[in-house]
Structure 1
Amino acid sequence: MCPRPCRIVVICPKNGFESWEKEWVATFGEKLPLSCFSLGDPAIAAMSTERRRNALSLDSGACNLFTFNYESLSGYVRELHAIIPDQTLLVFDEVHRVKAIGGRRAEAALEAADGAKFVIALTGTPIPNTYQDIYNLLHILYPDDYDTFFGYEPGELRAPDADLQASLNDSLAPFFCRTNKDELGVPRPEPDEIVEIEATPDEDTLLRVLYASCPNALARIIRTLQLESDPEMLCSAVDPGDLEYVLDQVGDDYSDIDYVDFSQTFYEAIERSRPSSKLVACERLVERIVAEGRPVIVWCIFVRSIANLRRDLAAMGIPAEAIYGATPQEERREILNDFRAGRFRVLVTNPQTLAESVSLHSVCHDAVYFEYSYNLVHLLQSKDRIHRLGLPDNQKTRYYFMREKFMRDGRELSLDAVIYNRLKEKEQTMLDAIDRGCLEGGHLDDEDLRIIFERLLGEDAKSLEY
């Protein structure tokens, strides 16, 4: 019989470091005082990589909690191999981060788990895209048994038919446990509040020009979101980094999404459309929520939108702080602690930075979605920051979705509305699968793009490039 674990090694997003430390203290208290080796520790972070490796090998013997992020894991696998097989519980938190078969993160996770006797994988979205997403997960948990007990090849998992899906779920059933929020006693949120915004004539003009010049479906989504948020973004090429914030899958070649040199009339319409109608409406909504004494999180996609909102709110006398990818880890902690302490009431961020492993439900119960894409993982994870286990039964949680409406060829058109409805469909599919006790298949980007534009444009969608 294996001896019980005496330490935990956690692989998780950077934002999860503090949460694991706080949960340790809350759970064990003085019975098992925390001694943590964390890449988020400023003293450790300030070391060179070689010094960190030496410290992990030579100075961490008394530590009972270790936290590493997925991006850095590959640099410490050798040192972890000396720790993990010996009375250690290895936890992969938000394990969907290693879904890409053959990806660098996945290879590092598989190597780190080699030889581990106690392994747990945690995720709220086990199959965000296709059943292929379980391939790495099962190899991490059961490397010696996968071929004999499961044995599915990646090609089989990409688009399994109904019979294979049933077989997959039968095979998986003994090895996972999944609960919904009703079972946990989390009070249901209020119905989503949709904030309708009518585009100005200039914004309608900009949309018509964009649709005439963008035959690529993804380009239309990116550019429409930019038009709604800050039309000046249309004057520059799309930042490839922004694509990850919209897509469920990353790594494809989207080089055909690029800057178009428009006419002078187009640029004049851009100037007349700033600030955008959607930005002004969002700022007024935030102002109302704050005036009612409630803290609020504003979710964006683009870093420029985060900066715009923070700047404008400050000009309105509303202190706001921002967290995005470039925000240093220690600064993120300070901002989150200040938000929890009530030192400011508005936090502006994006899902790719803050949608995982951060708990704010004790202090914030309102979230505004200024920008959102059809990425269901980002939506669900961001909602969970303020709606999770631990809320009192009478607590109200409110979500607000900004929805802009344009006029095109004499009819109303709203990309926001179509994306929102698609998200709700995908969310319901997931909830239904949880109720049935099975894992549901996800959705590929190409499939989502086609569905969205068929609903938005009807027959005209056939001319688009996907």
Structure 2
Amino acid sequence: MFTIDYDPNSDRIAIRGISATQLLKSRSGTALSVILGFRPQGNDLLIGPAENRPGSKIADTVKTLSEAGIDTELSDTAKRVLKEHITYLRSFRSSSVAGRELFQNPPVSVSLPPSFHRELRKFQILPVRHLIEVANAANFSVPGSGKTTMVLAAYSILKDIGEISKIFVVCPRSAFVPWTEEYQECFGATPNALQIAGQPLDRAQQMANAERFELFLCTYQMLANERDAVAQILRKYPCLLVLDESHHIKRGEGGAWFDAVNEIAPLARRRIILTGTPAPNRLEDLLPQFEVLWPGLNPARKAMDLYGKDDRIEDFRESLRPYYARVRKDELELPKRNVIRIPVRLGDVQQRIYNILCNRILPHTLRKIEERNLVRDLRKALVIRLLQAASNPTLLGEYSNEFRVPPFSAAGVDLDQLIQNYSDYETPQKLLVAVNIATQLAEERQKSIIWTSFVHNAELLYKTVKDSGIEAVLVTGSTTKDEGSEQNRDALLHQFKTDKSTKVLVATIPAIAESVSLHKECHDAIYVDRTFNCGLYMQTLDRIHRVGLPPDANVRYHLLLGVNTLDETVNTRLQHKMDVMYRVLNDDIDILDLDVPDDLSEGDWDSDDIAAVLEHLRQHISQ
């Protein structure tokens, strides 16, 4: 007889008994050592990692030994943990039933405790009930629908009934202020909030006093650094864990952020994932997100299996439907959005640079790429150089920090000189058009935001706008987030939103793509350039089209497209990705609703994107 025990302090499972190490030589030995990770500790003890999933590991250990005909008994701790695991399995089944029933018979009301002051909108009622009745739930509502309010409403109910006592939010740094402000709006009081930031010693002291705080705010990157300390908080207090902008972990196993979340998620009493579009490029993007939502039971895997059998997206959606709620854009009753596509012909010198790049340099690069199966770094450089040439050729001569692409080595003196001296010949037409639009809007007393992917472009645009006599602010990835600085990111955004004389915000897309609302002050966005990263682009679109807009607001997107350049290919590919995305979510909304940011340097360019680039080059070269 062998005893199975669990030590929560070390998060390890023990098998005790006379000559326990001999189990590794039995027919269960391979499963114990290779699959479950048990190692001998003396002759009478085996130790294995629980990996924050002790109930599942104990169940697997009991099953492995039982199938080998080996008798076992459980310690009191192991019995309790196994019982919790069985409860978890039942919770999954009951959540599936509850989720389906909710959508078959949508609720018309939800009872909120007196502590919650904000009145829910009609379209928020079902998602809030879903967050309550489905133990671990996803909310894929479009940006601007009030996902934070929905979560806080559910939190107020769960806290009122004593199921949880704290809320732990993992999110981009830009979401810290919105979460704090939304809490104040919902509860009428400033939260006891801990922003897990600063120096390591300060963070350790703060988290050691976790009992003082109710709301915890932590970035994905910081979680990767502080996973052990966060795990202690989740073990000690019944917490609601919220993954805001959960697409950040779509890379899955091996990604530092996913690995950190995956380790601590099972420790939370309840889990919620939030994102406007969970599958930006492929259905598989859903798998890591649902794995942390339902560890070990991932309902997205079953959905993927069904989809793989017959390629029917309807089967995929139907299988996953009980576990997520989504408010569509058309339910928000927002004013219509206007997309203005503005063709911009390149200047003579810029056109010459673009032509040379396509006709003389890139075919050689393409051959190398095809030989090496479109090696990632080469294809990234290829796309970025084309976009740089179509936007502002001086970018070709600089290191691109945002994309981590080195300066272009021109194979030819004429091209080299054209790039080096381009600013002496002309100003990029797209930059001139962008500034002209912003200037005209400022004269009409309208604020606007100019978006670009390149820091150098942003700096040049900002200077040009300022030189024209228009007050502006500049926010890029290098803008400090230090609250002690007067020119920090949040202060600059506050200036743009509150200072009537500040008419233009110039920004790089990743700098403020997420969790920032500009819709009350700004109704015009100007896009100088875009990449194939549909998530980053679509996230920015919803900064100015959200709940709270006046019904007569004229929301406009000015898309600058270089004529006969890669801009046109990017535009087509982005529209296609949106079509695929909204088939999954059964939405009838158009291109303007995706909400999936990512690291610019990774690009999110799939093989179809690269094929489209090659086709653009072939057509351009044949002209």
Per-residue deviation at 1:77?
1.9
AA paired with 2:208? S
- 8 A Cα contact 1:8 1:66, kept in partner: yes
Q: Which residue of 1 aligns with 2:528?
A: 370
- 8 A Cα contact 2:171 2:243, kept in partner: yes
Q: Which residue of 1 aligns with 2:611?
A: 450
AA paired with 2:537? L
Per-residue deviation at 1:164?
6.9
- 8 A Cα contact 1:296 1:346, kept in partner: yes
What is the alpha-carbon distance in structure 1 between the residues aligned to residue 571 and residue 267 of structure 2? Answer: 44
Per-residue deviation at 1:163?
3.6
AA paired with 2:323? F
Secondary structure in 2 matching 1:120: strand
Q: Residue 585 of structure 2 is aligned with which of 409, 412, 434?
A: 434
Q: Residue 275 of structure 2 is aligned with which of 117, 120, 123?
A: 123
Q: Please tell me whether residue 36 in structure 1 is matched to residue 193 in structure 2.
A: yes
Listed one character per residue, the Cα deviations across residues 23-55 of structure 1 (whole Å, up to 9, x for unaligned) are 00011004xx4111013xxxx53xx21331221
What is the alpha-carbon distance in structure 2 between the residues aligned to residue 261 and residue 344 of structure 1? Answer: 44
In structure 2, the CA distance between the partners of 1:108 and 1:365, relative to structure 1 (3 Å rule), is same
In structure 2, the CA distance between the partners of 1:193 and 1:419, relative to structure 1 (3 Å rule), is same
Q: Which residue of 1 aligns with 2:245?
A: 94
What is the alpha-carbon distance in structure 2 between the residues aligned to residue 434 and residue 168 of structure 1? Answer: 10
Q: Which residue of 2 aligns with 1:409?
A: none
Secondary structure in 2 matching 1:9: strand
Secondary structure in 2 matching 1:101: coil
Q: Please tell me whether residue 379 in structure 1 is matched to residue 379 in structure 2.
A: no
- 8 A Cα contact 1:296 1:368, kept in partner: yes
Give identity over the alignment, percent: 26
Tell me the number of residue pairs that the alignment of Structure 1 and Structure 2 aligns: 425
- 8 A Cα contact 2:281 2:577, kept in partner: no
What is the alpha-carbon distance in structure 2 between the residues aligned to residue 150 and residue 435 of structure 1? Answer: 16
Q: Which residue of 2 aligns with 1:390?
A: 548
Higher relative contact order (CA 8 A, sep 6+): 1
Secondary structure in 2 matching 1:345: strand
In structure 2, the CA distance between the partners of 1:324 and 1:425, relative to structure 1 (3 Å rule), is same
What is the alpha-carbon distance in structure 2 between the residues aligned to residue 367 and residue 328 of structure 1? Answer: 23
AA paired with 1:187? P
Q: After the TM superposition, which residues 2-81 of structure 1 pair with which residues of structure 2 at under 5 Å, given as runs?
A: 3-30=162-189, 33-39=190-196, 45=198, 48-58=199-209, 60-81=210-231
Secondary structure in 2 matching 1:173: helix
What is the alpha-carbon distance in structure 1 between the residues aligned to residue 351 and residue 578 of structure 2? Answer: 31
Structure 2 unaligned blocks of 5 or more: 1-86, 88-160, 367-378, 589-593, 597-603
Q: Which residue of 2 aligns with 1:408?
A: none
What is the alpha-carbon distance in structure 2 between the residues aligned to residue 396 and residue 415 of structure 1? Answer: 29
Q: Residue 518 of structure 2 is aligned with which of 348, 360, 368?
A: 360
Q: TM-score, normalised by structure 1?
A: 0.83
- 8 A Cα contact 1:296 1:367, kept in partner: yes
Secondary structure in 2 matching 1:435: coil
What is the alpha-carbon distance in structure 1 between the residues aligned to residue 535 and residue 612 of structure 2? Answer: 18
Q: Please tell me whether residue 417 in structure 1 is matched to residue 576 in structure 2.
A: no
Secondary structure in 1 matching 2:337: coil
RMSD of equivalent CA atoms: 2.8
Q: Which structure has the larger Rg?
A: 2
- 8 A Cα contact 1:210 1:220, kept in partner: no
AA paired with 2:386? T
- 8 A Cα contact 2:334 2:547, kept in partner: yes
AA paired with 1:27? C
- 8 A Cα contact 1:365 1:398, kept in partner: yes
AA paired with 1:320? A
Per-residue deviation at 1:452?
4.3
Listed one character per residue, the Cα deviations across residues 233-270 of structure 1 (whole Å, up to 9, x for unaligned) are 2224x536416xxxxxxxxxx89x95334314651472
- 8 A Cα contact 1:181 1:388, kept in partner: no
Per-residue deviation at 1:107?
0.5
Q: Which residue of 2 aligns with 1:263?
A: 413
In structure 2, the CA distance between the partners of 1:239 and 1:414, relative to structure 1 (3 Å rule), is closer
What is the alpha-carbon distance in structure 2 between the residues aligned to residue 181 and residue 143 of structure 1? Answer: 30
Structure 1 unaligned blocks of 5 or more: 244-253, 406-412, 462-466
- 8 A Cα contact 1:130 1:444, kept in partner: no
Q: TM-score, normalised by structure 2?
A: 0.63
Secondary structure in 1 matching 2:502: coil
Per-residue deviation at 1:337?
0.9
Listed one character per residue, the Cα deviations across residues 104-153 of structure 1 (whole Å, up to 9, x for unaligned) are 0001111121221111100112011222212211111111423xx56569
Q: Which residue of 2 aligns with 1:464?
A: none
Listed one character per residue, the Cα deviations across residues 353-381 of structure 1 (whole Å, up to 9, x for unaligned) are 21111111111111000111121101110
AA paired with 1:100? R
- 8 A Cα contact 1:14 1:69, kept in partner: yes
Listed one character per residue, the Cα deviations across residues 422-444 of structure 1 (whole Å, up to 9, x for unaligned) are 2223223333443369xx9x985
Q: Which residue of 2 aligns with 1:230?
A: 392
Q: After the TM superposition, which residues 178-257 of structure 1 pair with which residues of structure 2 at under 5 Å, given as runs?
A: 178-190=326-338, 192-211=339-358, 212-214=360-362, 215-216=365-366, 218-236=380-398, 238-239=399-400, 241-242=402-403
Q: Which residue of 1 aligns with 2:505?
A: 347
Q: Which residue of 2 aligns with 1:84?
A: 234
User: Which stretch has the larger CA shift, 348-357 or 296-305?
Assistant: 348-357
What is the alpha-carbon distance in structure 1 between the residues aligned to residue 208 and residue 303 of structure 2? Answer: 37
What is the alpha-carbon distance in structure 2 between the residues aligned to residue 360 and residue 338 of structure 1? Answer: 12
Q: Which residue of 1 aligns with 2:259?
A: 107
Q: Which residue of 2 aligns with 1:332?
A: 489
Q: Please tell me whether residue 297 in structure 1 is matched to residue 416 in structure 2.
A: no
What is the alpha-carbon distance in structure 2 between the residues aligned to residue 265 and residue 99 of structure 1? Answer: 40
Listed one character per residue, the Cα deviations across residues 168-195 of structure 1 (whole Å, up to 9, x for unaligned) are 43331110112211112222212x1122
- 8 A Cα contact 2:458 2:506, kept in partner: yes
